[in-house]
A and B are shown apart, each in its own frame.
Chain A
Amino acid sequence: MEPLLQFWRRYRQNRGAVFGLAIVLTASAMALLAPWLFPGDPRRIAGAPYIAPFVTWQFPLGTDQLGRDIFVQLFYGARVSLLVGIAASLVTALIGCTIGALAGFYGGRLGALLMRGTEMFQTIPDIMLALVLVTILQASLLSVIISIAIVSWTTVARVTRAEFLKFRSQDFVLACVVMGMPSWRIIVSQIFPNVLPPIVVMTSIIAAGAILAESSLSFLGLGDPNSVSWGMMTGAGRSVFRNAWYVSGIPGLAILMAVLGINLVSDGLNDALNPRRRER
């Protein structure tokens, strides 16, 4: 408990990070409470179309061109955005850490092979590859998550490899080799705890990127057709943008806030986890 408290003390010194955390917590609350606050299909036609925001209490954020409640859709959209953000960044971290750790620890031919593979992925433009993958895998939430993970693990792999290279030759690792510790234990129990902070920070940045990527895919109509997401709402509203900006403007703003919030949190994590800045 005590270290957690200290961590929070360091974290809260960054005001932006606290603000970011508030945004992320709000979005999480929206996502968790959506089915409880607004039971029923969020995409059902609830009233007249094109009601502007802040006009009636019944539809605080107005309705879209089909008369669907934007406020309710925003809540349900948070579910998809956050789920994609969390799941995609975790899968990304898992792939990236595994490949980076193996490449960095063993080096040699295995390392060269893995890094050439990583570079191959890096040469393909992310969004193009994601589009192709989603098209091949059929549009669903799972395929969106997998596609985003496949295009974004390379940076994690490179960072993890660099960190493992750095620690591989440190004396405390050599001492473990000398005492006969198996390599997998050295990787997991000795080096990994030391490389965790940059990976945590990077994973949170990737979560923000994943939300953006999901929005882009949904905007282009390649998201899961059966669920509401902020990107899909933005895409659906773009044809009426000139006379009803809020239909795509409000979910667009939600994306902006969520991504900003996560970036601020990762910034705060970076400060709080960086041992050199602890003595403030």
Chain B
Amino acid sequence: MTPLLSVEDLHKHFPDRVGALRAVDGVSFQIKPGETLGLVGESGCGKSTVGRTILRLYKPTSGRIVLEGRDIAPLQESALRPLRRDVQMVFQDPFSSLNPRSRIGRILEEPFVVWGEGRARDRRDQVVALLERVGLGAEAADRYPHELSGGQRQRVGIARALALKPKLIVCDEAVSALDVSVRAQIINLLVDLQRTLGIAYLFISHDLAVVEHVSNRVAVMYLGRIVEIASADQLWSNPIHPYTRALFDASPKLPAAAGQKRAVLEGDLPSAIDPPSGCRFHTRCRFATDVCRRVEPIVWQAAPGHSVACHHAEALSMAEAIPTAQQNGILKGSRHDNASAL
């Protein structure tokens, strides 16, 4: 299947007094129609910047962003505007993502007004249809954002993203700011919408359990690079990159395996202004050798669709499967009704 979105060697550097902050430094991936690509990594690794660059809220420093066969990276805002409806976004903070001075109905009507769709009378019906689609009643249209709860606001944010019938929605930490129970509801809503509407998601999150649950494939980012990308099943059953393993080890599990030793990461994320030479992870990697400090690793295919950027990938994949590969019993991409499993 041809990819909906193909990102090729994307760079986004922010100019700084001393040089450039290399927030995204050579990232490539593809998203097929209707699939969910998870993007995980710790704070500051550049995952949000990837999302915002794809949405062209930032102009990429270099690289290609091919949306349905068309490179949108070099386009000016005026040329970009007609293509904007295909890619929408759901934001992290349900409180700052809605204009505090607009009623919900007005917020949801805005996309139709911008695109000159429908008469004023019909638009009201479209707004109600959107509200119902995300599980809100028509009466919410007359409310102001501060009158709604966080979960309701996030539903409005999703409804707004759906208004233009996009093919891809970038969910930037879309459930991270929500209560656990509300989080499960919103995830179920996103999964349901994907099934009925066939939307693809780029699901950016630091929450591994959520990403595992919703994603078909998962990319792991470290310091502006993707270090490992694989299907969610492959990645969780056989994580290869030392960073991926450390990330999995760092996330809490229930029940905690007795006597299991965790490979906890030492130190902080190095500066993206002056990233380490060679493999960027060598400063914190248990397996780092001389070659890691000098040479940038090339991508190694562990299996079809499973690639790793590590000098020792082959050796690490031979080593015994690490015990993080426990399944938590939830089927991928399925709904679930037990919030505590998250």
Contacts and interface: CB of A to CB of B under 8 A. Distances in A.
Given A174-B57, A185-B114, A179 B97 contact: no
Contacts of B91: 171, 174-175
B85 interface: yes
A175 B84 contact: no
B99 A180 contact: no
A178 interface: yes
A175 B114 contact: no
Given A185-B114, A194-B101, A178 B93 contact: no
B88 interface: yes
A172 B93 CA distance: 10
Interface string B6-18: 0000000000000
Contacts of B102: 190
A179 B84 contact: yes
Contacts of B93: 171
Range for the number of chain B residues in contact with chain A: 20 to 34
Contact of B81 (A171, A172, A175, A180): A180
Contacts of B92: 171
B49 to A, nearest CB: 13
B80 to A, nearest CB: 8
Contact of B89 (A170, A175, A190): A175
B110 A170 contact: no
Contacts of B77: 183
Nearest to A191: B99
Given A185-B114, A193-B101, A179 B160 contact: yes
Given A176-B110, A181-B114, A194 B100 contact: yes
Contact of B97 (A175, A183, A275): A175
Interface string B55-71: 10100000000000000
B242 to A, nearest CB: 35
Contact of A180 (B84, B89, B96): B84
A172 B163 CA distance: 15
A177 interface: yes
Interface in B110-130: 110-111, 114-115
Interface of B: 52, 55, 57, 77, 81-82, 84-85, 87-89, 91-93, 96-102, 107, 110-111, 114-115, 157, 160, 163-164
Given A174-B89, A174-B91, A179-B163, 13 more contacts: A171-B92, A171-B97, A174-B52, A177-B57, A178-B84, A178-B87, A178-B88, A179-B88, A180-B82, A180-B84, A181-B110, A193-B99, A193-B101
Interchain residue pairs A-B with the least CB separation, the first 3: A171-B97, A180-B84, A171-B91
9 contacts: A170-B96, A171-B91, A171-B97, A172-B96, A174-B57, A178-B88, A179-B110, A181-B110, A182-B114
